[in-house]
Structures are given as structure tokens and as C-alpha cells.
């Protein structure tokens, strides 16, 4: 029977050997026979937690180095979130979103071959942005008053989610304002519920 504690011990042991460790060394450390260890290693490899290099008849197991632009970026954003004030983070994220919004707006204007995006095109644009980022968004709202963008599946993870939602709110507000003349956006986050980016398209009347 597969034991998760043994899995953790194997992964931790392999981590300590950056140049690789043999199946025999792993078996000796864990205290299991070669056949059982072989089954464990096959299962753990399927999870992409370890990999091996073949040297003749021997296999040396190691932890694969997983560095991608996405993970690198998300770790930076998570670090920013932890090390600057919420107000500074909000300000920086909104400014980044505004800059991105101008670029993204031009792309969708070219795609639709139009000078201004309509309300329906804005909704489709926001949903498409989610798809392009490997997430899932749902847009709904009241014509020329408000668009709610519900984040069904976030493209981001970990500590970067809140900061990136603020960036997205800036993106959506900028795109909407360029096409409809005015927009402001807020991120609505409630526990155990999907985050919603509320894009207001109508300026509040002064009392």
C-alpha cells in the first residue's frame, strides 16, 4: 500500500542530492526493498516531483528544476504583496493595469475593426482576457452602467492573486473608459466566494 509519509521521505532525501541518488541508496535510507522502492519512484515521477537520468544500467534520481516565466513572475508579485503596504501595492497595481489596459484595448480595437468597443464587445473582451491568461471569467451587467467580471478560475495563484486582481481591475477600467468615456473598477472579495471585478460605467451623481 502506498504510504504518503514514505513519499515525503523519498522526495526530501532526493532533494539533498542535487547531482542524483540511486534507487539502492533510496531503498537503504527508507528501509524498503528495491522492488517496493521502484513502485514508489514510478508513482512519484508521475506526479512530476522527481525525475531520473540514465547512466548505463543505473538510474540517478533528482528533483527537476522548475523555473518558468509564470512562476518567476508570481513569486515576485507575492514578495511585493508581503513587503509593501496595501496602499502602495494598490497604487502600483492600478498603475500597471492602466498601462496594460491601453495596449490591450488597441489589440481588441484591431480585432473588432472598430474605433470604439460596444458594451457587449467590452463584456466579450473581458471574458477573452481571462481565457488568454488560462483562467475563466464570466461577464454580466447593466447596459452602460456596470459590468461585473466574476473570476470563476483565477489565472494566478498564491500570494499574487490579490495584487493581480487589482492589476486586472485597472486593465478593465482603462479599457472601458477609453471606449465609453468613464469607468472605475473595484475588486469585490468575499470569503468562500469567487472574486468579482466591478466595473462602474456611470459616474455617481453629486448630492
pTM: 0.62
Residue range(s) defining the domain that contains residue 179 = 69-200
User: CA–CA distance from 155 to each of 29, 45, 107 (Å)?
Assistant: 40, 26, 20
The reply to whether 149 falls in a domain is yes
The reply to whether 176 falls in a domain is yes
**What does the CA dihedral 86, 87, 91, 97 come to, rounded to 10 degrees?**
30
| Local confidence pLDDT in tens for the 207 residues of the chain | 577 888 888 888 888 876 788 888 999 999 989 889 888 999 888 887 888 888 777 788 888 766 666 677 777 777 776 777 777 877 887 788 888 899 999 999 999 999 999 999 999 999 999 999 989 999 999 998 999 999 999 988 877 788 888 889 999 999 999 999 999 999 998 888 999 999 999 876 554
Read off the CATH number of the domain in which 76 is found.
3.30.1380.20
The reply to whether 110 falls in a domain is yes
Q: Assess whether 126 and 179 both reside in one domain.
A: yes
Number of domains within the chain: 2
Q: What is the pLDDT of residue 207?
A: 45
The reply to whether 103 falls in a domain is yes
Place of cell 495563484: 157
Q: Assess whether 41 and 126 both reside in one domain.
A: no
Residues 33-92: pLDDT tens digits? Answer: 988 988 899 988 888 788 888 877 778 888 876 666 667 777 777 777 677 777 787 788
Q: Assess whether 98 and 196 both reside in one domain.
A: yes
The reply to whether 207 falls in a domain is no
In the DSSP assignment, the letter for residue 127 is H
| Adjacent-strand bridge partners of 163 | none
Give the distance from CA 70 to its chain's centroid: 8
Amino acid at each position: 500500500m502506498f504510504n504518503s509519509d514514505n513519499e515525503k521521505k523519498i522526495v526530501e532525501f532526493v532533494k539533498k542530492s542535487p547531482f542524483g541518488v540511486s534507487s539502492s541508496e533510496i531503498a537503504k535510507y527508507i528501509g524498503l526493498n528495491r522492488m517496493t522502492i521502484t513502485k514508489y519512484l514510478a508513482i512519484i515521477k508521475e506526479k512530476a516531483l522527481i525525475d531520473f537520468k540514465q547512466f548505463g544500467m543505473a538510474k540517478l534520481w533528482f528533483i527537476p528544476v522548475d523555473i518558468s516565466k509564470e512562476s518567476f513572475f508570481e513569486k515576485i508579485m507575492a514578495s511585493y504583496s508581503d513587503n509593501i503596504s496595501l496602499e502602495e501595492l494598490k497604487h502600483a497595481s492600478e498603475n500597471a493595469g492602466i498601462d496594460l489596459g491601453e495596449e490591450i484595448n488597441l489589440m481588441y480595437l484591431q480585432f473588432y475593426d472598430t474605433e470604439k468597443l460596444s458594451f457587449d464587445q467590452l463584456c466579450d473582451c473581458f471574458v477573452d482576457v481571462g481565457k488568454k491568461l488560462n483562467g475563466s471569467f464570466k461577464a454580466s451587467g447593466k447596459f452602460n452602467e456596470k459590468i461585473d467580471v466574476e473570476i470563476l478560475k483565477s489565472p494566478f495563484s498564491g500570494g499574487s492573486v490579490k495584487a493581480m486582481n487589482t492589476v486586472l481591475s485597472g486593465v478593465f477600467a482603462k479599457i472601458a473608459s477609453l471606449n465609453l468615456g468613464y469607468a472605475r473598477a473595484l475588486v469585490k472579495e468575499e470569503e468562500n466566494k469567487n472574486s468579482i471585478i466591478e466595473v462602474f460605467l456611470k459616474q455617481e451623481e453629486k448630492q
